Homo-oligomer: A and B are copies of this chain.
Amino acid sequence: MISIICGTNRGQSVSKQLAIYYQNSLQEAGANSYIIDLKELPKDFLNVALYDNAGKSERFNILKKKINDSHKMVFIVPEYNGSFPGVLKTFIDALDYPDSLKNKKCALLSLSSGTQGGALALSHLTDILHHCGMSVLANKPKLAKIESNFKDGQFTNDLYVTLLKEQIDGFLDF
């Protein structure tokens, strides 16, 4: 089973819409997946799921089990402050090291309101996932100016449709 991680806990995020788009695209390619939305993290996540409290939050454990049960993951990553959201790294920090991620495979996709597209976000995240023993697909689309190119759940830019299709094809063979 593939899990799609929506990399922010912001409400009404474009990342969540992209996660749904990605799930539909995977479905069309014959692959089942579920979405893990960081918005579902417990409100007191920082205090109940990390360090000495690892494993103690039932609500977080439900999300963690989904990660632990999947062998392929897609990370949908918005650019925040020149990297990926802190909440995504906090989520990774709360997983089981190394079992949650080691020897698994992932694909990364970034989006930004601005023109950069999130190259640094994906570079940082690659370092971290490699550290955790996860294989990262080389093809990592970086979708700049996302608000102008993705509306009502669909791309208005054919290039972005192609980039995602190529990534999905590569990921299913990965």
How many angstroms between the C-alpha atoms of A41 and B126 in the bound complex?
28
Contact B131 A139 (CB under 8 A): no
Q: Which residue of B lies closest to A138 (CB)?
A: B130
Evaluate whether A41 and B51 lie within 8 angstroms (CB atoms) in the complex, with A81-B97, A138-B133 already known. Answer: no
Is residue A136 contacting chain B, with contact meaning CB distance below 8 A? yes
Contact B97 A86 (CB under 8 A): no
Q: Which residue of B lies closest to A53 (CB)?
A: B11
Kindly specify which of A20-28, A63-71, A111-119 makes contact with the partner chain: A111-119
Chain B neighbourhood of A44, CB < 8 A: 43-44
The range of chain A's interface size is 35 or more
Q: Mask for A83-109, Cβ within 8 A of B = 1, else 0? A: 111111111110001000000000000
Quickly give the copy total for this chain. Answer: 4
Q: Which residue of B lies closest to A174 (CB)?
A: B135
Is residue A153 contacting chain B, with contact meaning CB distance below 8 A? no
Chain B neighbourhood of A43, CB < 8 A: 43-44, 46-47
How many angstroms between the C-alpha atoms of A88 and B10 in the bound complex?
17
Contact of A81 among B131, B136, B140 (CB under 8 A): B131
Evaluate whether A136 and B142 lie within 8 angstroms (CB atoms) in the complex, with A41-B46, A87-B90, A119-B119 already known. Answer: no
